[in-house]
């Protein structure tokens, strides 16, 4: 019984907190800051749109070229914050995104990645907006 429960809990998505809403303006850029807990400094980070279980929804991943060149990801490991920047914001960029920290196997158990939900709203006009998301 505990084996099944442990397996189920390790493969389920770990989502932390209520979604943060980020407001940006078409044609401008937006910065989304995602903090993470100690111990994840060397882990891969990524930013995906909609369903993160589909690898084609990953917009940008640390150490890899972005799916769309308007997206970039930088990781400040000392502050434990990674920042996703989207330039030339478009109305089709609006929607649900996830800041994610990749987790791996520990003692032959697959650990779920850690996600923080972001809702991006794109408006007309010109203003740069940023937000901070937290993982616990």
Residues in the chain: 136
The sign one gets for the Cα dihedral 113, 115, 121, 122 is: negative
Kindly list the structural domains of the chain, giving each domain's residue range(s) and its CATH number in brackets, ordered by start.
Answer: 2-133 (2.60.40.10)
Distance CA 13, CA 114 (A): 7
Phi then psi dihedrals of residue 106, to 5 deg? -130, 120
Q: Report the alpha-carbon distance of residue 115 to residue 15 in Å, rounded.
A: 5
- The pTM (predicted TM-score) of the whole model is 0.77
- Reported confidence tier of residue 10, pLDDT bands at 50, 70, 90: very low
Grouping H, G, I as helix, E, B as strand and the rest as coil, residue 55 is helix
Rounded mean pLDDT, 121-128: 74
55-111: per-residue pLDDT in tens?
Answer: 789 999 999 989 899 999 999 999 999 999 999 999 999 999 999 999 876 766 778
């Amino acid at each position: 019984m505990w084996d099944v429960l442990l397996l189920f809990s390790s493969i389920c998505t770990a989502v932390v907190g209520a979604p943060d809403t980020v407001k940006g303006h078409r044609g401008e850029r937006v910065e989304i800051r995602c903090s993470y807990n100690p111990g994840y400094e060397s882990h891969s980070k990524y930013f995906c749109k909609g369903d993160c279980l589909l690898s084609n929804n990953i917009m940008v991943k640390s150490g890899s070229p972005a799916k769309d060149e308007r997206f970039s990801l930088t990781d400040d490991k000392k502050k434990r914050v990674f920042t996703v920047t989207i330039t030339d914001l478009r109305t089709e960029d609006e929607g649900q995104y996830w800041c994610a920290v990749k987790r791996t196997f520990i003692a032959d158990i697959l650990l779920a990645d850690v996600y923080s939900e972001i809702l991006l709203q794109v408006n007309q006009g010109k203003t740069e907006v940023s937000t901070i998301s937290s993982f616990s």
